[in-house]
């Protein structure tokens, strides 16, 4: 369409000018034998030009209308899609000690794709710190996305506080669970706005505390503007690690019960990563899930889940896994050195 409409303008002007040439050529004979005057010939040329220019405007209008029509059809198609996720009616929460429970959960992104998670069962107790480890594509992010109910499982049940996750309303879930996604996204605006992220009730004091835990307080202190320091679009004036820590601080405000870090310390150096984990450990009444590819990051968790190709191949503490989980042994051996196996 672009090619044809780009031809339209030059083609119309070509026809217009050829028309003028023809009128002048034949008009000249008529003027010569005296049937029309020179003035009438010029008037004729003016009329012809006006008519063709009007036709040109009309053709532009027709293009615009056709475009608008096909766009509106597409927009309406999008409007007509009903979300497959149904909002739950909201529930009163009971407290039975188990925070999150997966019962034989399987999930695939579409009917045709192979299962990204198959037959996953585990439970996480209240206020535990859980590590999830596994290679890329093993389904770690998929698993945490299911906890946040970004997708519904194909089969099996996910319970939070003993209640089926589908019964919670979305706002209830979002309040309960904070997710730091794998890809840190920050916006142009102040640090304060980036941390608040729409939670207007959050005080400056709470923001500073969250920044402290996320190991970003030093950076903010070093800026004259403090919390008013402007972050550029996409966080261009921050380093990768600073961006990640900013999104971690965002997840900490608003007092969530469950905090999920999806590979959120991948751009941090080991030292900052360790400090961050230590600060997280000191938080009271939080269930924390740390997803990582690094053994050192999940080593001290109360329980480590080992994922491989969508399957749960091991669950337990670091020392236990070193003894009885071949996949974990493999990862530990590569990252911590052969020695770890001998010590365990
Ligand atoms: N949005 C998506 N649509 C379709 N397939 C996906 C999507 N996200 C992830 N997958 C697939 O699911 C599997 C697990 O991916 P993911 O959970 O992101 O792994 P990890 O976080 O462990 O690296 C991969 O095979 C990946 O190709
Ligand atoms: Mg991931």
**pLDDT tens-digit map of 244-300:** 999 999 999 988 999 999 988 888 888 888 899 889 888 888 999 999 988 888 988
Residue nearest to atom 26 of ligand 1 (CA): 137
Please indicate, yes or no, whether residues 42 and 135 belong to a single structural domain of this protein.
Answer: no
Which atom number of ligand 1 is nearest to the Cα of residue 134?
22
Residue 94's pLDDT is what?
65
Q: What is the pLDDT of residue 110?
A: 87
Which residues form the domain of 67?
A: 2-80
In a domain, residue 51? The reply is yes
Residue 111 structure tokens? 């009917």
Give the residue whose CA is nearest to atom 3 of ligand 1: 109
Q: Is residue 190 part of a domain?
A: yes
Residue with tokens 């911590």: 336
Residue ranges lining ligand 1, Cβ < 6 Å: 109, 113, 116, 134, 136-142
pLDDT of residue 343: 54
β-strands 98-107, 258-262 pairing: unpaired
CATH number, domain at 338? 3.40.50.300
| DSSP secondary structure letter of residue 218 | H
Q: Determine the distance separating the centroid of ligand 2 and the alpha carbon of 24, expressed in angstroms.
A: 74
**What tokens appear for 281 in the block?**
């450990």
28, part of any domain: yes
Ligand 2 centroid, distance to 203 Cα (angstroms): 32
Among 218, 188, 213, 303, smallest CA distance to 264 is for 213
Let me know whether 274 and 211 are in one domain: yes
113 and 31 in a common domain: no
Q: Which of 52, 80, 108 is the last residue of a domain?
A: 80
Predicted pLDDT of residue 344? 46
Q: Which of 50, 80, 110 is the last residue of a domain?
A: 80
Whose tokens are 């927009």? That residue is 75
Low-confidence ranges of the chain (pLDDT < 50): 344
Within this chain, do residues 67 and 110 fall inside the same structural domain, yes or no? no
Report yes or no on 86 lying in a domain.
no
Question: Is there a domain that residue 175 lies in?
Answer: yes
pLDDT the model gives residue 281: 87
Domain count, the chain: 2
Token duo for residue 79 = 């409007």
- Per-residue pLDDT reduced to its tens digit, 317-344: 999 999 999 999 988 988 888 777 765 4
Does residue 217 contact residue 272 with C-beta atoms inside 8 Å? no
pLDDT, residue 342, reads 63
Q: Going by CA atoms, what residue is nearest to atom 27 of ligand 1?
A: 137
Q: Which of 131, 134, 139 to mutate for ligand 1's pocket (most ligand atoms within 8 Å of CB)? A: 139
- Residue 93 maps to a domain: no
CA 141 – ligand 2 centroid, Å: 4
Q: How far is CA 86 from the centre of its chain?
A: 20
């Amino acid at each position: 369409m672009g090619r044809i409409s780009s031809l339209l303008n030059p083609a119309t002007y070509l026809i217009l000018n050829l028309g003028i040439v023809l009128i002048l050529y034949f008009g000249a004979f008529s003027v010569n034998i005296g049937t029309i005057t020179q003035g009438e010939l010029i008037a004729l040329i003016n009329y012809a030009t006006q008519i063709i220019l009007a036709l040109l405007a009309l053709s532009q209008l027709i293009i615009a209308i056709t475009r608008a029509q096909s766009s509106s059809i597409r927009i309406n198609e999008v409007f007509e899609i009903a979300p497959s996720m149904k909002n739950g009616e909201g529930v009163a929460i009971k407290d039975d000690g188990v925070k999150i429970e997966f019962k034989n959960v399987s999930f695939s992104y579409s009917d045709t794709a192979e299962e990204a998670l198959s037959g996953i069962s585990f439970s996480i107790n209240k206020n535990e710190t859980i590590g999830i480890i596994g290679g890329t594509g093993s389904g770690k992010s998929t698993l945490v996305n299911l906890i946040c109910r970004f997708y519904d499982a194909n089969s099996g049940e996910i319970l939070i506080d003993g209640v089926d996750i589908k019964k919670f309303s979305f706002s209830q879930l979002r309040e309960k669970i904070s997710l730091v996604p794998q890809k840190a996204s920050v916006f142009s605006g102040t640090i304060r706005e980036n941390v608040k992220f729409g939670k207007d009730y959050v005080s400056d004091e709470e923001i500073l505390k969250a920044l402290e835990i996320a190991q970003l307080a030093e950076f903010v202190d070093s800026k004259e503007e403090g919390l008013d320091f402007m972050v550029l679009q996409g966080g261009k004036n921050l380093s990768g690690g600073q961006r990640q820590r900013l999104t971690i601080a965002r997840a900490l405000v608003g007092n969530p019960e469950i905090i999920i870090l999806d590979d959120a310390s991948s751009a941090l150096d080991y030292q900052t990563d360790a400090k961050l984990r230590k600060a997280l450990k000191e938080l009271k009444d939080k269930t924390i899930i740390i997803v990582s590819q690094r053994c050192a990051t999940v080593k001290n968790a109360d329980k480590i889940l080992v994922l491989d190709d969508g399957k749960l191949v091991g669950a337990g503490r670091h020392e236990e896994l070193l003894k009885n989980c071949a996949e974990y042994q493999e990862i530990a051996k590569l990252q911590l050195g052969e020695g770890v196996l001998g010590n365990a």
